[in-house]
Amino acid sequence: MAIHPTAVIEDGAELGDVVVGPYAVIGADVVLHDGVMVGSHAVIEAAVVGPGTQVGAHAVLGGAPQDLKHDPGTPTRLIIGARNVFREFTSAHRGSSRGAGETRIGDDNYFMANSHVAHDCVVGNHTMFANSVAIGGYVVVEDGAVLGGLSAVHQHARVGRLAMLGGGAMCSQDVPPFSIAQGDRARLVGLNITGLRRGGLTDPAITAIKEAWRTLFVGELPRRLAISQVAEALGEVPEVAELLAFLRASARGVCRSALQA
């Protein structure tokens, strides 16, 4: 353990074998597991931080939710998994009293400078948030998604597994798994083929996803009929079934395709 003499560690904080830099502040209701590194002037409160996570200078983790109806007397948490990287000036807020009370971040995520995770969000594993990405409250970002610089996701929207948002994308609706979305308001422009290959998907699975995607987002069938047709033809392919389940579960609707009239 190495704690700089200018750091403030409040009574009640639970620290493993960690490194805490100059002028950092660790709140009383914080748990830092082994291997956590906290940079100078970082602030952590109401959070559990998993092993091997790096917290950059001036990052703020576990701050109060930006929810005007949040009851500050209700204890809520930020739960962070293992081996995450939070670069300088990133922020991730704890849950709101109006939601589940927890913001959850999985393992092996990379949050570049100035990116923000709002209250009650759920972030999976192996995602990447480029510089100045912001996701609103209750957003779900699934495993392996990549959010390009200055992109934003509306409250309650979802970004599917291995999806990619182009730089500056403004996503007011759900972005399906495996897709690329860009623009304001974001539209679907194709499949994230490079991401699928990096994600370990087989060639037959990628071929099936391409066929399903063309029917769903390029063809002229109404979405409900397109889903039924794809389910009948390709529903036994796990990745296609995942895509269809995502579409069926959408509450905010799905981003429109730029490839349809």
Statement to judge: residues 12 and 84 lie in one domain = yes
Does the annotation mark 120 as catalytic?
A: yes
Establish if 67 belongs to a structural domain.
yes
Establish if 201 belongs to a structural domain.
yes
Statement to judge: residues 11 and 125 lie in one domain = yes
Buried b (16+ CB within 10 A) or exposed e, 41-51: bbbbbbbbbbb
pLDDT at 188: 98
What average pLDDT score do residues 212-239 get? 96
Please state the three-class secondary structure of 90-101 as a single string.
CEEECCCCCCCC
Q: What torsion do the CA atoms of 60, 64, 65, 67 make, to the nearest 10 degrees?
A: -140
Does the annotation mark 119 as catalytic?
A: yes
Statement to judge: residues 129 and 223 lie in one domain = no
| Per-residue confidence band for 43, with pLDDT thresholds at 50, 70 and 90 | very high
Establish if 123 belongs to a structural domain.
yes
Q: Directed axis angle between helix 238-248 and helix 223-234, to 10°? A: 160
Statement to judge: residues 38 and 108 lie in one domain = yes
Task: Give the domain-ending residue among 138, 159, 180.
Answer: 138
CATH (domain of 122): 2.160.10.10
Q: Give residue 199's Cα distance to chain centre.
A: 16
Task: Give the domain-ending residue among 90, 120, 138.
Answer: 138
Establish if 171 belongs to a structural domain.
no
Question: How large a percentage of the chain has pLDDT more than 70?
Answer: 100
Q: In angstroms, rounded to a whole number, what is the distance separating the alpha carbons of residues 227 and 218?
A: 13
- With a CB cutoff of 8 Å and minimum separation 6, the contacts of 219 are 226, 260
pTM of this prediction? Answer: 0.97
Does residue 260 carry a pLDDT above 70? yes
Statement to judge: residues 10 and 115 lie in one domain = yes
| Per-residue confidence band for 15, with pLDDT thresholds at 50, 70 and 90 | very high
Q: Which of 120, 144, 149, 190 is catalytic?
A: 120
Establish if 114 belongs to a structural domain.
yes
Task: Give the domain-ending residue among 94, 113, 138.
Answer: 138
Rounded alpha-carbon distances, angstroms, from residue 82 to 42, 66, 94, 120, 226: 18, 25, 17, 19, 40
Establish if 149 belongs to a structural domain.
no
Statement to judge: residues 32 and 100 lie in one domain = yes
Q: Which of 124, 137, 144, 160 is catalytic?
A: 137
Q: Which of 58, 70, 119, 126 is catalytic?
A: 119
Statement to judge: residues 43 and 113 lie in one domain = yes
pLDDT at 259: 84
Domain extent at residue 240 = 197-248
pLDDT at 255: 96
Statement to judge: residues 112 and 213 lie in one domain = no
Statement to judge: residues 108 and 224 lie in one domain = no
Statement to judge: residues 128 and 226 lie in one domain = no
Does residue 135 carry a pLDDT above 70? yes
What average pLDDT score do residues 202-225 get? 95
pLDDT digits (tens, 9 = 90+) for 138-180: 999 999 999 999 999 999 999 999 999 999 999 999 999 999 9
Tokens 């959850």, located at residue = 104
Establish if 62 belongs to a structural domain.
yes
Establish if 156 belongs to a structural domain.
no
Q: Give the total number of structural domains in the chain.
A: 2
pLDDT at 11: 97
pLDDT at 261: 61
Angle (CA) 23-60-17 rounded to 5° is: 60
Statement to judge: residues 207 and 128 lie in one domain = no
Statement to judge: residues 117 and 6 lie in one domain = yes
| Per-residue confidence band for 1, with pLDDT thresholds at 50, 70 and 90 | confident
Question: How large a percentage of the chain has pLDDT more than 90?
Answer: 97
